[in-house]
Amino acid sequence: MALGSTVHRAELELADIDRGVYGSHTLTLARHPSETEERLMLRLLAWAMFADPDLEFGRGISTGEDPDLWLRRPDDTIALWLEVGLPEEKRLRRAAGRADQVVVLACGGRAVPPWWARQREGLQRIERLRVLEIPLDHAKALAGLCARNMRLHCTVQEGQYMFADASQSVVVVPQTLHPH
């Protein structure tokens, strides 16, 4: 019998000083049995980075066609396609053909430099692509905030994302590998 997804709920208070975006958001994330807490929390980070009332989580890790998050317009065109992890160039090229902007949050510690070395030449030719690396220690610290029910505050200032719950705080600083 296959295991089902675990539902996580996040009450996120966002103060994005850099973009002038503020608000309280109730988010529901489904965690596939094969998904780590780090990856789940990176999807939450991605939501905070591009917060918009219409930004949606994809159908999940088991559905290969959807991105991790996306922003679709009412006419069903895609404004933003977000991927977490180390996707292949072919997938990103296909995403760029469908979306106005594609963003990758690359994370994997020592796996990122070889992935980037292999993909760099092809990825740099994709218009509308932005690649950001999330340092592994930042992702692990962020995973420390993971719970089935989370109440988090996220403050964004000068490109730094500070997440805090009632007992601890974590700072995440994305590094740009490729600007769009």
**Residue 174 belongs to some domain of the structure:** yes
Q: How far apart are CA 46 and CA 7, in angstroms?
A: 18
Confidence grade of residue 111 (pLDDT, cut at 50, 70, 90): very high
- 5 within domain boundaries: no
Quick one: pLDDT band at residue 24, thresholds 50, 70, 90?
A: very high
Q: For 46-70, write each residue's pLDDT tens digit.
A: 999 999 999 999 876 656 688 999 9
Q: What is the CATH number of the domain that holds 169?
A: 3.10.640.10
Number of domains, the chain: 1
Range of the domain at 53: 12-178
Query: DSSP H helical segments within the chain, as ranges?
Result: 37-49, 89-98, 112-124, 136-143
Phi-psi region of 79 (alpha: psi -120 to 50; beta: other; left: phi over 0): alpha
User: Which tokens hold the place of 147?
Assistant: 């719970």
What amino acid is encoded at 43 in this protein? R
pLDDT at 23 over 90: yes
Give domain status of residue 7, yes or no: no
Q: What does the pLDDT look like over 160-169, one tens digit per residue?
A: 999 999 999 9
Cα–chain center distance at 168: 21
Residue type, 65: E
Sign of the C-alpha dihedral, residues 56, 59, 60, 65? Answer: negative
The DSSP element (H or E) to which 157 belongs, if any, is strand 149-157
Length of the chain, in residues? 180
1 is a domain residue: no
Helix (H) / strand (E) containing 29: strand 21-31
